[in-house]
Structure 1
Amino acid sequence: MAADDWLYLVTDIEVDGPWPGPNSMRSFASVAVRETGEEVDAFEAVLEPLPGAAPHPDTLAWFQGHPEAWAAATTDPEPVPEVMSRWVEWVRSLPRPRAFAASPIAFDGTWMDHYLRRFTRYGLTQGPYETDTLFDHGALCLRSYAAAVLGRPVGEISPHTLPPEWLGEAGHTHRAIDDARGYAHLLGELMRRSGAVR
C-alpha cells in the first residue's frame, strides 16, 4: 500500500474544562488530508453543552480573555447526538485506510473517544474483535511525531514552539477549523521532513 493511500482525519477540539462529562466539548473540526497535506474534505460543528455539565472556572476565565474563540466555540450549537452521528457518517463516507490524528492525541483523542462511545457505537480505537470500525490501526499523535522528527522532548512541542510556517496560513486561533487545518499542514510538513513523503 502506497504511503499516499492513507487518509488522516486531523481533528481539533475546543472544550470548556479538563474533564469529559463534568465539562463539555463545545466545538470540534476534522480535516481529512493525505500524507502530502492535500485536503480531501472537512467537517466542523458546534455542540450543545452536556446535560448537567458546567464550564470549569479556569477554562471559562481563559475564554473570557479570548472572546472570538469563545464565540466560535459556542455560537449556534447543535444537539450532541445529532452532531456525533453526522460525524460518524462523514467519516464512513471517506476512503480507507484512514487514521485519526490530533495534537496531542491524549487530550483531543480522549474527548473524541468519550463522545463517540457515549453517543454512537464507535470509539477511536476498538477491540480486535470488532469488525465495524471507523479507523484503521489506531491514531497518530502529531505532538509526539513532531518531537521525534525534531529530536526534542515532547514537552517542548506546542504551536508556539514550532516554526509558524509549519502550521500554514491559518495560525493557531483556537477556532477548531483553523487549528485543525494548521495541524493538517503540520502533518504534511512532518511527513516530508521524516522522509515518509517525497
Structure 2
Amino acid sequence: MSDKPRVEIYVSTDVEVDGPIPGPHSMLSFASAAYLADKTLLGTFAANLDFLPGASGHPDTLAWWKDHPDAWQAARRNPQPPQAAMQDYVAWLEALPGLPVFVGYPAAFDFMFVYWYLMRFAGRSPFSFSALDMKTMAMTMLRKDYRRSTKSAMPKRWFDDLPHTHVAVDDALEQGALFCNMLKESRSR
C-alpha cells in the first residue's frame, strides 16, 4: 500500500431547486464536474429528480422559475427517483481517481441540498461534511468584504468563455473552470 496521499478532485457542483431548503422543497436537478487542479476535466454527473413526497415549491422560487422557462424545462426532463440518482452519484464520486472535494458558489446553499439528499437517500457522503466555498476564496484573493466578493467583482481573467444558463451541468462546468483559474492564480502568488 502506498503512503502517497491521494490527489484531490475538485467536484464543482450546482443545484436547481424549488425552494430555499431541502425537505419542504425539492432539488429538481443537480450536476457535478470533476476537475484536477490543472483544470483537466475528468467527467460530469447530472440528474433530474422526482419531487419529494409532500414537498412543494416556494412561491418566490417558483416566480423566479417563470422567468427561466428553458432552464425549468431542462430540470424537469426525465426525472428519476432521488434514491437511485443519489446512489449512482455516490458510485460516480467513489470511482474518481482521488479524494472528492465539494466546490460550490455559494457552497453553503448547494452543499446543503446535496448533503441532505446524500444522507437521506444514499446513507453517506463521499465529501464527508465539508465544502469549499468559491465566494470565500474570492474574498481572500480580492481582499474585499465577503458580500462584495461577487462574480461581478472578479477579474475577467478568472472566467473561461462558458455559459451560465441555470442548467445544472452548464453551471457546474462554468464554475469549475472558474475555480481552477482562481486556484492556479492563488498558488502562483
Percentage of identical aligned residues = 38
CA contact (8 A) 1:4 1:35 kept: no
2:146 to 116, 140, 154: 154
CA contact (8 A) 1:100 1:135 kept: yes
The DSSP-based 3-state class of the residue aligned with 2:13 is strand
Query: Where does residue 170 of structure 1 map in the other structure?
Result: 162
Give distance in 2, aligned partners of 1:26 and 1:89: 20
What is the CA distance between 1:113 and its match in structure 2? Answer: 0.8
2:37 to 35, 57, 61: 35
CA contact (8 A) 1:98 1:136 kept: no
CA contact (8 A) 1:25 1:47 kept: yes
Query: Where does residue 186 of structure 2 map in the other structure?
Result: 194
- 2:146 is aligned with 1:144: no
The DSSP-based 3-state class of the residue aligned with 1:36 is coil
1:53 to 29, 52, 55: 55
Give distance in 1, aligned partners of 2:143 and 2:55: 40
- 2:125 is aligned with 1:120: no
CA contact (8 A) 1:9 1:33 kept: yes
CA contact (8 A) 2:115 2:129 kept: no
Distance 1:147 1:167, change over 3 A: same
1:82 to 81, 84, 95: 84
Aligned residues: CA RMSD: 2.2
What is the CA distance between 1:101 and its match in structure 2? Answer: 1.1
Distance 1:191 1:73, change over 3 A: same
Give distance in 2, aligned partners of 1:17 and 1:165: 33
The DSSP-based 3-state class of the residue aligned with 1:170 is coil
Query: Where does residue 17 of structure 2 map in the other structure?
Result: 15
CA distances 1:15-61 after superposition (whole Å, capped 9, x unpaired)? 01101111100000000001121101110111011000011111111
Query: Where does residue 46 of structure 2 map in the other structure?
Result: 44
AA in 2 matched with 1:109: F
Give distance in 2, aligned partners of 1:173 and 1:137: 28
Distance 1:2 1:166, change over 3 A: farther
Give distance in 2, aligned partners of 1:163 and 1:72: 30
State the TM-score, normalized to the length of structure 1: 0.86
How many positions carry a matched residue from both structures?
187
Task: Please list every run of 5 or more consecutive structure 1 residues that lacks an aligned counterpart in the other structure.
Answer: 124-133
CA distances 1:71-128 after superposition (whole Å, capped 9, x unpaired)? 11111111110000000000011122321111111110111111011111213xxxxx
CA contact (8 A) 2:101 2:127 kept: yes
AA in 2 matched with 1:182: E
What is the CA distance between 1:163 and its match in structure 2? Answer: 4.2
